Amino acid sequence: MTDDTIRYLTRPDGERLAFRATAGDGPVVVWIGGFRSDMEGTKALVLGTAARERGWAFVRYDHFAHGQSSGDWRQATIGRWREDAMALIDSLDGPVIPVGSSMGGWVALLLALARPERMAGLVLINPAQDFTERLMWPGLADHERQAILRDGETVIVEEGLGSYVLTRAMFEEARTWLLLDAPIPLAAPVHILQGRADAVVPWRHALALTEQLTGGDVRLDFIEGGDHRLSGPADLARLVEAVEAMRTRGSAGSPA
């Protein structure tokens, strides 16, 4: 498999997940992108380059209704994205290291809870667990919340994300997958990179996550001045080294 070849994983309902894979050694590093992001983003591409240069096994993919994957955006839910991540992991061999950015951090945590035996470790970038309930809903204008409750959806226009629909179904379904109200038992090590100046996912949100993670080592790095994207040269270098360290640790911990 090469990083230049796009492949598809067909789901039971006929929808297709687009992904690219790089062959390599050790645990498979799996990029899990954020809300309305795709596998062609800066961080995903930098990890792809690192994988080729360093010999990592690496997979990046697009969520349902994102990028080159199929799907009706109005049918997108946290549970759907979780199930698709599980299906992708189930199609791979050996241990994995999910690298989740923003919403992808939430999906990565849900994946780790569902497939704990596959986890060599997690790297999370400004993780947005429970964002629908704790960050997005409170951040909507009152007329937007009212439209969702009354009509079942509303159109949002946001710089950087464009125009998109938010559905009541997404908010309601997401409550099934909330994590921060109870302990999160993960034996795998977790390394969190959090921008101190992130205006989308405030740094206290990462702190709340560390307070609930139990069972394994947790490292939280606050990046002074770091924004939500964490895509500056120093940020990207830090991400690559965090994944390299987790990968080395995961390889050392794998059975002979």
**At a CB cut-off of 8 Å and minimum separation 6, what does 98 contact?**
30, 32, 85, 108, 111, 112, 119, 122, 123
pLDDT, tens digit (0-9, with 9 covering 90-100), for 119-137: 999 999 999 999 999 999 9
- The residue-averaged pLDDT of 36-55 equals 97
Q: Residue 159 has what pLDDT?
A: 77
Query: What's the gap between Cα 201 and its chain centre?
Result: 13
Token pair, residue 108, equals 């990565």
pLDDT, tens digit (0-9, with 9 covering 90-100), for 231-254: 999 999 999 999 999 999 877 654
Q: Residue 161 has what pLDDT?
A: 75
Provide the pLDDT confidence category of residue 10 given band limits of 50, 70 and 90: very high
Provide the pLDDT confidence category of residue 2 given band limits of 50, 70 and 90: low
d(CA 125, CA 127): 5
* DSSP letter (8 states) at residue 38: -
Diameter of the chain measured on Cα atoms:
58
pLDDT, tens digit (0-9, with 9 covering 90-100), for 180-234: 999 999 999 999 999 999 999 999 999 999 999 999 999 999 999 999 999 999 9
* Residue at 35: amino acid letter: F
Alpha-carbon distances, residue 208 vs 104, 128, 142, 178 (angstroms): 17, 11, 26, 13
CB 111 within 8 A of CB 86: yes
The pLDDT of residue 160 is above 90: no
d(CA 168, CA 67): 23
The pLDDT of residue 32 is above 70: yes
d(CA 65, CA 216): 33
Q: Residue 146 has what pLDDT?
A: 97
d(CA 93, CA 27): 9
pLDDT, tens digit (0-9, with 9 covering 90-100), for 51-84: 999 999 999 999 999 999 999 999 999 999 999 9
Q: Residue 254 has what pLDDT?
A: 47
Query: How many CA atoms lie less than 13 Å away from 115 in the CB half-sphere?
Result: 25
The pLDDT of residue 1 is above 60: no
Dihedral angle, C-alpha 243, 239, 61, 92, nearest 10 °: 0
* DSSP letter (8 states) at residue 159: T
d(CA 233, CA 248): 23
d(CA 61, CA 103): 14
pLDDT, tens digit (0-9, with 9 covering 90-100), for 81-99: 999 999 999 999 999 999 9
Please provide residue 44's backbone torsions phi and psi, each rounded to the nearest 5 degrees.
-65, -40
Q: Residue 182 has what pLDDT?
A: 97
- The residue-averaged pLDDT of 104-114 equals 98
- Domains in the chain, ordered, with CATH? 6-130+180-253 (3.40.50.1820)
- The residue-averaged pLDDT of 139-153 equals 97
